[in-house]
Structure 1
Amino acid sequence: MTKDVIALTEKMPHTPALLAALHAGGPDLSLTADDDGAVIQLCTAAGRPLVSVEAPLLVHVPGEAERLLGPHVTTLQPPYWWTEARASTAVPEAEPLADSICGRLTMLLGGTTWPREATSTAVVETAQEADGITATQLPDGALPAVDVLTESTAVVLADRPVLGLTTWLSGVLRATAAAGRALHIVTPPHVRLTLPLRTALGGTPNRWVVKNPAGGYYDGLSGAELTWQNGTFAPSGPPAKVADAFTEGAAPTHDRRLTVTLRTISSPEADLVLGGALETAWRHLTGAPPTGWGTAEPVNLPWSPRQLTDLARRRSPEPTHTLAVGSPDRPAIATHRTTRTTAGVAEEVTLTVGYPAAQHVPLDAIEPLAAELVDSYGLTAMLTTLTAARADLTLRPLLTAPPIPVAFTLGARDVGATGLAHARRPPLAVKPVQLGTARDPALHYPLGDGTDPAAWTALQILTAHLESGPGSAD
């Protein structure tokens, strides 16, 4: 297992401060770095890894430390610097060494640490290596440090209040996918995942593996009991069984999450600016634009469609994956993916907004949102769902209610492909609302208020009907 320690500092961790912090292990330790210098690794003289320190991140976005580390973690106001140290618990001295590295940074630069008790600045003496142990140079493209690595699976053991899609975990996910391996993240039952990490895991073969207090392990998303077999976590049985811990700890909630999943297509013009559809959805549902964006958690940059566009241009023709968050008083988070297609530039957005029990969910904003996206952003499709789930937008390893469809919108492009006459007459009690122009109409299909699971049946009937269209315009 690894132990994470984080320094949140008022000033940038410049080279002298970093050297002073890394000297917490004394003069006999060695340093290595990855190819781009984003991670520095402190090792024993024989090359055994002790602590990995990520490149400091300047956070401009309010509420990110509190969202990911807890409400009382810091009194710092953005901007501040976020530096993560990851200690290997296989070596007893590694954890106090990580504590001392972060404690020294905050002593020199001002700020605080997480956990708060990680304030030591003492030199940590490390045991001498046994004879015959030597360091091994990792090959190019090797996996980032993980806790267990088999032919089929990379296992990461993690224990922090909220586990997000950090830069390090993003790298692990990319490397495992490139190597044809699964990623299994193993946590205690009190750990919660952020929505971006849950989305990035993407289901089988990747897993969120939870240590069962009653013994054994279970899948944190499905509840299936798991066992370690043939170098991976797999469902026990047959027959498959759901862990009691997955269902017994679940409790009804009156909090709600409204999720809008949409796709737009734009012409690849030189003056194209991305993120407009995302910002429009955010304004309709929260009354304000996103607060910040970035490529990992913590989300660190002030919201800027222009900067997002510049990043996508630099990475083109490869896809660009980014995240966006809202202000601390309005929980909202989104994933944004940009790709080049034969039809143009595609943007895929999943935006989720949290509403505590006492707050009104603005379902009446969905149709006007769909209309603006059709008129201004080339909407191809949009699905809106409502879920009874935590308003803080984190996931616990417990049974939760499934989302229920609220509405579906079909853009003008696909209405034309399906045929207007066919698309506007689905075998449903509720008929669609026509959006767009008479020449290029889109259709918006209300499906309910998010309380009746029968809306899934209605959505299945609707999609089957649309897929059976004659393919000619009205």
Structure 2
Amino acid sequence: MTKDVIALTPEMPDLNTLLAGLYAGGPDLSVNTTADGAVVQLCSPDGRPLVSVEAPILVQVPGETARLLDCAVADGPVWWTEARASTAVAEAGRLAGSFAGRLATVLGGTVWPPEAATTDVVPLTTDISAVPVPATATPAVDVLTTTTAVVIQDRPLVPLTNWLSDALRTATAADRALQIVTPPATRLTLPTRTALRGLPNRWVVQHPEHGYYDGLSGAVLHWKDGTFTPVRGENGTARAAEAFKTVTDTGERQLLLALRTRHPADADLVLGRALETAYHHLTDGPPTGWSTAEPVNLPWSTRQLTDLARSRAPQPTLLIAIGHPDRPALATLRILRTPAGVEEDITLALGYAEDETPPLDSIEPLAAVLAAEHGLTTLLTSLRAARRDLTVPPHVEAPPIPVALTVGHDEIESIGRTRAEHPPLGLTPTKLGHPAEHAVHYTFGDGTNPQAWTTLHQLTRHRKQA
């Protein structure tokens, strides 16, 4: 049974309803709060946390609950209350299910996963004195060593929830790796994949036949010195697990945009407009929602996300944006204050089925608008064979193939206009915008020829030459 249980209710659980749910363990268990009251914990008599419940979130974005729970659920605004059970106590999973079941019963909602729902009182029978005292106060972390925070997730899709965001921040601050352990059928959302970027953070897949392996690189892993690390051969190299090599081509594709902008830091600046423009060009509408974690719960608002980024400056702000469920489109937006101004580092992924055509002819018009109106620095567009739903499976995926590169006016000035406009390899760039302040757009192909990588690397070296 999964250790994460979610109650989806049409009404916000009030204090009395939460307490009724927390009575799932009977009168012998106690209630505690942590994270400045944002997390309520059901604890054993000696104070050890058994179930941690995060503050309810109102999800107002169409299709978001179905996307993250990977199943059919009622659409529309819904309160998402997530409970995470301790993996150290056998009864904790059933306690979480009873808590969620009680909320759903009182408020007329549903429970995910459905089989976890119950309203039974779950007595604590485990000998708590034999259970090690948890070394961490972070609810998401199951195992903590001097070098690594391990999170165990047994769910079809692992989103970048507030649980995981908090675990990542805490691990990073303590100079620890964050490693997520899942079964082989689990997938990651793109924000979770982005959060795990960079070793020693890892996605650890526990396969019943192939043991442990890295879900992103395929390297066979073992537990050594308090962390998951690659098994090295005599020559010092790691090998890939056989399960990681298995892949089936479904004809699905993803269009990927890596977009950077720079703006003067003034009081009238509104952020997110470059991303909004990209959505309009590629999906015929703006993003439907944004948030700092998943589920993406807030209706799209450039003004609100700007206010949030301004309140956090000079610290960077990382945001997630989602599109309409009819056209899978998911973006991460990193906002950073620098001496040059305010910079946006955006990655946008859009998914297409085998019978759908990615809108490559929209890239150049989009680049022209971004360069003229939104402070474009660079825009790299790529295409790759990957899942339409934008989730990340634990097997090898083909790398993206570059389609086009656009370089904005200010970047061209730093490179040198002559060098930017006369690249090697016979490339003929297109000038976008006003002749005196134009951007340069290079086209490499339709995303099917891997040779485009060589062309891009040579162009990059050419741009960097003195």
Q: Which residue of 1 aligns with 2:13?
A: 13
In 1: Cα distance, 2:335 partner to 2:128 partner: 51
* 1:176 equivalenced with 2:171 (yes/no): yes
Matched to 1:365, the amino acid is S
Matched to 1:36, the amino acid is D
- Go from structure 1 to structure 2 and tell me whether the alpha carbon gap of 1:170 and 1:162 turns closer, same or farther (over 3 Å shift): same
Matched to 2:223, the amino acid is W
Matched to 1:181, the amino acid is R
Shift in Å, 1:253: 2.6
**How does 1:373-452 map onto structure 2 within 5 Å?**
373-452=370-449
Per-residue CA deviations over 1:160-202 (Å, capped at 9, x if unaligned) read 0110100000000111111001111111100000011001111
Q: Would you say the 8 A contact 1:155–1:184 is kept in 2?
A: yes
In 1: Cα distance, 2:103 partner to 2:401 partner: 48
Of 173, 185, 193, which residue of structure 1 is paired with 2:180? Answer: 185
Shift in Å, 1:310: 1.0
Q: Would you say the 8 A contact 1:192–1:397 is kept in 2?
A: yes
**How does 1:122-201 map onto structure 2 within 5 Å?**
122-127=120-125, 129=127, 143-201=138-196
Q: Would you say the 8 A contact 2:87–2:142 is kept in 1?
A: no
**How does 1:43-442 map onto structure 2 within 5 Å?**
43-72=43-72, 74-75=73-74, 77-127=75-125, 129=127, 143-238=138-233, 239-248=237-246, 250-442=247-439
Shift in Å, 1:116: 0.9
In 2: Cα distance, 1:386 partner to 1:213 partner: 33
Matched to 2:311, the amino acid is R
Q: Would you say the 8 A contact 1:144–1:175 is kept in 2?
A: no
Q: Secondary structure at the match of 1:186?
A: strand
Matched to 2:239, the amino acid is K
Q: Taking every aligned residue pair, what percent have the same amino acid on both sides?
A: 58
Matched to 2:163, the amino acid is W
Shift in Å, 1:335: 0.1
TM-score w.r.t. length of structure 2: 0.96
Shift in Å, 1:131: 6.0
Aligned length: 463
Q: Secondary structure at the match of 1:252?
A: coil
- Go from structure 1 to structure 2 and tell me whether the alpha carbon gap of 1:130 and 1:460 turns closer, same or farther (over 3 Å shift): closer
Shift in Å, 1:428: 2.0
In 2: Cα distance, 1:58 partner to 1:440 partner: 45
Q: Would you say the 8 A contact 1:2–1:157 is kept in 2?
A: no
- The more displaced of 281-290 and 30-39 is 30-39
Matched to 1:343, the amino acid is A
Matched to 1:371, the amino acid is A
Structure 1 stretches of 4+ with a deviation exceeding 2 A read: 127-138, 142-145
Q: Secondary structure at the match of 1:400?
A: coil
In 1: Cα distance, 2:54 partner to 2:346 partner: 29
Q: Please provide the CA RMSD for this pair.
A: 1.7
Shift in Å, 1:129: 4.8
- Go from structure 1 to structure 2 and tell me whether the alpha carbon gap of 1:107 and 1:376 turns closer, same or farther (over 3 Å shift): same
Shift in Å, 1:355: 0.7
In 1: Cα distance, 2:377 partner to 2:140 partner: 41
In 1: Cα distance, 2:439 partner to 2:128 partner: 71
Q: Would you say the 8 A contact 2:85–2:93 is kept in 1?
A: yes
- Go from structure 1 to structure 2 and tell me whether the alpha carbon gap of 1:99 and 1:340 turns closer, same or farther (over 3 Å shift): same
Structure 1 unaligned residues grouped into runs of 5+: 470-474
- Go from structure 1 to structure 2 and tell me whether the alpha carbon gap of 1:130 and 1:410 turns closer, same or farther (over 3 Å shift): closer
Q: Secondary structure at the match of 2:115?
A: coil
Shift in Å, 1:127: 2.4
In 2: Cα distance, 1:450 partner to 1:40 partner: 49
Shift in Å, 1:2: 6.8
In 1: Cα distance, 2:222 partner to 2:133 partner: 33
Per-residue CA deviations over 1:257-316 (Å, capped at 9, x if unaligned) read 001111111111211111000000111111111011001011000111111111111111
Q: Would you say the 8 A contact 2:91–2:126 is kept in 1?
A: no
Shift in Å, 1:143: 4.3
